[in-house]
């Protein structure tokens, strides 16, 4: 079984798309609860970690700003 790894700033895909039509969410806060922001409409929601992991489909992009920093 694939292990889901995510970190702050990652763009993730959820099993159900957001009502606005976008299915890309950015992880903007990690903790007991996880805050994700819809890339399409910028709406953010706070979800318990267990719920987030059950709804997470896959990580699309790992922390875009971190990869910019190490790009040469």
Distance CA 28, CA 12 (A): 11
Q: Does 40 bind Zn ion (CB under 5 A)?
A: yes
**Region binding Zn ion by CB under 5 A among candidate stretches 1-9, 31-39, 45-53, 64-72:** 31-39
Cα–Cα distances in Å, from 22 out to 12, 25, 26, 38, 48?
11, 8, 11, 7, 21
Q: Does 17 bind Zn ion (CB under 5 A)?
A: no
Q: Which is nearer to Zn ion, 15 or 66 (CB)?
A: 15
Q: Which is nearer to Zn ion, 9 or 40 (CB)?
A: 40
């Amino acid at each position: 079984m694939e292990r889901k790894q995510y970190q702050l700033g990652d763009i993730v895909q959820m099993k159900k798309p957001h009502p606005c039509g976008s299915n890309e969410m950015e992880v903007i806060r990690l903790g007991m609860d996880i805050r994700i922001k819809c890339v399409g409409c910028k709406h953010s929601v706070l979800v318990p970690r267990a719920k987030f992991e059950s709804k997470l489909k896959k990580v699309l992009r790992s922390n875009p700003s971190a990869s910019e920093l190490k790009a040469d």
